[in-house]
Structure 1
Amino acid sequence: MSKIVDKKVALLTGGASGIGRATAIAFAKRGAAVVIADADAKNGEAVAVDLRERFGAHALFIHVNVTDPASVQNMVQTTVNQFGGLDYAFNNAGVPDGSTSLRVSTQGNWDRVMSVNLEGVWHCMKAELDHMLAAEKGAIVNNASRSGLVGVPGDAIYGAAKHGVIGLTKAAAVEFASKGIRVNAVCPGLVDTALTRAKFGDDLIPRSRLANPLGRMAQAEEIAEAVVWLCSDAASFVVGVALPVDGGATAR
């Protein structure tokens, strides 16, 4: 496997499970030092141990609350102190929309989804950019969603947050490209993760057959490969993109 990110430092929020965990593994396989940041200390530390044992990776877990600017600043500063820099960031932490319709959504649901999925990305980008601007290099990938590109029934609050993530991504991309920093977003469709299975239950498999022209869910590893590519020099001329990784769902 080509080590296209060898000796780089990658920071991932939401790295304890799902897409974040798969991306941490993908970076470690390619020789990067990996920081797994998550509110889930037990599983986050387990991922770091796994990367050290299986790949001999330099891997560190940091507990973070992405809704707390001080916690986010500590995450980035600890990363830089531990590994001497920060090359790549994947802002992936997120929570699902607990409502089934805009009409029955609540203020509490709105506040939770927006504080983690949108405001959390904002906090992370600010802290990451502070370091990357000083270093005059870096790449950031934000996890948006197919729901950030199109309207999805029953997903209004989540979709609003993810549309916001794409807006942040594009604005930052054009502001900081000349400073040596590339900012992009990845937009997954239906992905086979524990979170997805919990949300859709027995409806998941029939839903997945209709979700896209490929007629299946993505595996978390397929999203991870897109993230690693967007961070790497292989994507050196890719700036401000909201990349669908959705089996053709948004092409229909």
Structure 2
Amino acid sequence: MRLENKVAIITGAGSGQGRASAKLFAKEGAKVIIAEWNEENGKKVEQEINDAGYEALFIRTNIAEEENVLELVNEVMDRYGKIDILFNNAAIGFSARSKYKMAPLLETPLEDWNNILGINLNGTYLMSKHILPIMINQKSGNVVNNSSLNGLLGVTGADAYSAAKGGIIALTRVMAVDYGKYNIRVNCICPGAIDTPMISEVLDDPEIAKNYEAGPLGRVGKPEEIANAALFLSSDESSYITGLIMPVDGGWSAI
């Protein structure tokens, strides 16, 4: 029960890494808020957690809309009176290629660039902007941001995505410096290739899958492996860690 009685908001908790984290956090004693845009997925995860005897609340949330973020924060505060953990996990990636162009910079339309950054970077900004004051008032809090290997390495083909993920890394560091004096820790996970709906269609291509499997551990990661990292950074086990940029990538960043 490493998160006993903690109130944890996880964005994008309706699938993939967010779903795995929501289930693990709840099992470890947290009251989990599933901040998810997809209502069907969000309600399903909420039911899975509650049926298992733990506590979860789904709140439909568009993290790119400030008014919607404020509504989420107010609802959580009205119900629980505190927010202990924020896991900024939600993002769009390759699975959104039918809606937004994932391409090199010269081939990326401005509208798609702005929309990708609006969700992947601005969403982290907006959630943090409206939850940090609560944590400052509590004189405690824990923020975990989910970036990507794309934010660390020159991974081609999705430059708006990479720019947003690189921005999250820089934002993590400055947040850790600015808010440490309030007993707030801010850390960042950089997943490599994780077997989630975001890249499932990419992994269906044998050549691409072969490249993903060429890292030191020779395989793609599992959502639960990201959830375990998020749990560690959200718990007291990491109480002297802040400003950390943690690759969870099977060793890709070591190459």
Instruction: Please indicate the TM-score interval, normalised by the length of the shorter structure.
Output: over 0.9
Q: Deviations over 1:50-98 (max 9, x none)?
A: 10001x1121000111111111111122112212211101011101163
Cα offset, 1:200, TM superposition: 4.4
Does residue 17 (structure 1) correspond to residue 15 (structure 2)? The answer is: yes
Aligned to 2:234: 231
Contact kept, 8 Å, 2:202 with 2:209, in 1: the verdict is no
Secondary structure class of the residue paired with 2:205: helix
Within 5 A, what are the aligned runs for 1:108-187? 108-187=111-190
**Aligned pair partner of 1:193 in 196, 199, 208:** 196
CA distance in 1 between counterparts of 2:57 and 2:77 reads: 12
Q: Deviations over 1:107-161 (max 9, x none)?
A: 1220111000001110000111011111110100011011111110112211111
Contact kept, 8 Å, 2:102 with 2:161, in 1: the verdict is no
CA distance in 2 between counterparts of 1:24 and 1:191 reads: 17
CA distance in 2 between counterparts of 1:115 and 1:155 reads: 15
Q: Deviations over 1:195-219 (max 9, x none)?
A: 1112443245323222x21010000
CA distance in 2 between counterparts of 1:200 and 1:117 reads: 22
For 1:13, the aligned partner's letter is T
Aligned to 2:65: 68
Secondary structure class of the residue paired with 2:198: helix
Cα offset, 1:99, TM superposition: 2.3
Aligned to 2:109: 106
Within 5 A, what are the aligned runs for 1:30-41? 30-41=28-39
CA distance in 2 between counterparts of 1:101 and 1:200 reads: 20
Within 5 A, what are the aligned runs for 1:76-115? 76-96=73-93, 98-115=101-118
Change (3 A) 1:166 1:193: same
Contact kept, 8 Å, 2:89 with 2:146, in 1: the verdict is yes
CA distance in 2 between counterparts of 1:179 and 1:225 reads: 26
For 1:167, the aligned partner's letter is A
Secondary structure class of the residue paired with 1:16: coil
Task: Tell me how many residue pairs correspond in the alignment.
Answer: 248
For 1:105, the aligned partner's letter is T
CA distance in 1 between counterparts of 2:163 and 2:184 reads: 26
CA distance in 1 between counterparts of 2:220 and 2:146 reads: 17
Aligned to 1:27: 25
Structure 1 runs of 4+ with >4 Å offset: none
Aligned to 2:50: 52
Residue ranges of structure 2 left out of the alignment (5+ in a row): 95-100
CA distance in 2 between counterparts of 1:87 and 1:73 reads: 17
Secondary structure class of the residue paired with 1:61: strand
User: CA-atom RMSD, angstroms?
Assistant: 1.2
Residue ranges of structure 1 left out of the alignment (5+ in a row): none
CA distance in 2 between counterparts of 1:108 and 1:201 reads: 29
